Amino acid sequence: MFHIVFFEPRIPQNTGNAIRTSAATGNMLHLVEPLGFEMSDTKLKRAGLDYHDLAHVMIHPDFDALMAYLESEGTGRVYAFTGHTDNRYTDVSYQPGDALMFGPEPTGLPDEIMADPRITRLLRIPMRPGIRSLNLSNSAAIATFEAWRQNDFGGGV
C-alpha cells in the first residue's frame, strides 16, 4: 500500500524493526545503499524476529535507482521526513502508493536529497524543544500508521 524508504540506514536494529512494521502493515520497505551493515547481521535478524519472510524488502544501489523504481510503479508522491520544516506529517492526506522517506541515523537526509525536485514535500513529526531526533524505526512506524489509519487500515484486522 505504501513505500517506506530508509536512505542509507546505519543501525541494523532500526532496519530490523522496520521489517517488522512492514510485515505487520503490508507495506514495502526500501533500503538505499550504502547500508551501514550486512543484511545477514544478527542484530538486524533479531530485531526483525521471524518476520523477514513476511516483509517485502528491496535494496536500491542509490537514490536515482530508488526513484526510477518508484516512478515505474506509478508512485507520484515522495514525502521526506526531517526536523528542518514546519510541515507536520498529520497535515497530509496520504494515498496508497505514497513513499515515506527517512534519513540515516544520526544525520538525517542530506540537503541535496531534500532539495531534489522529485520530493513532494518535507514533513516533520513534532516533538518537544531541545530534543534532537526520534528513533528512526519509531519515526517510520508513527508515519506509516498515520498513513494507514487515513486509509482505514486497508487489509488490516
Task: Please give the annotated binding residues, written as ranges.
Answer: 103, 125, 133
- DSSP run (H or E) holding 123: strand 121-123
Provide the 3-class DSSP secondary structure of residue 79: strand
Pairwise CA distance, residues 99 & 27, whole Å? 10
Sign of the torsion formed by the C-alpha atoms of 89, 151, 156 and 2: negative
Instruction: Looking at the chain, list the stretches that DSSP marks H as alpha helix, in order from N- to C-terminal side.
Output: 12-25, 42-48, 63-72, 111-114, 136-150
Pairwise CA distance, residues 47 & 10, whole Å? 14
- The backbone region for 8, taken as left when phi is positive above 0, alpha when psi lies in -120 to 50, beta otherwise, is left
Q: Could you list the residues known to form a binding site for S-adenosyl-L-methionine, using ranges.
A: 103, 125, 133
Largest CA distance in the chain: 40
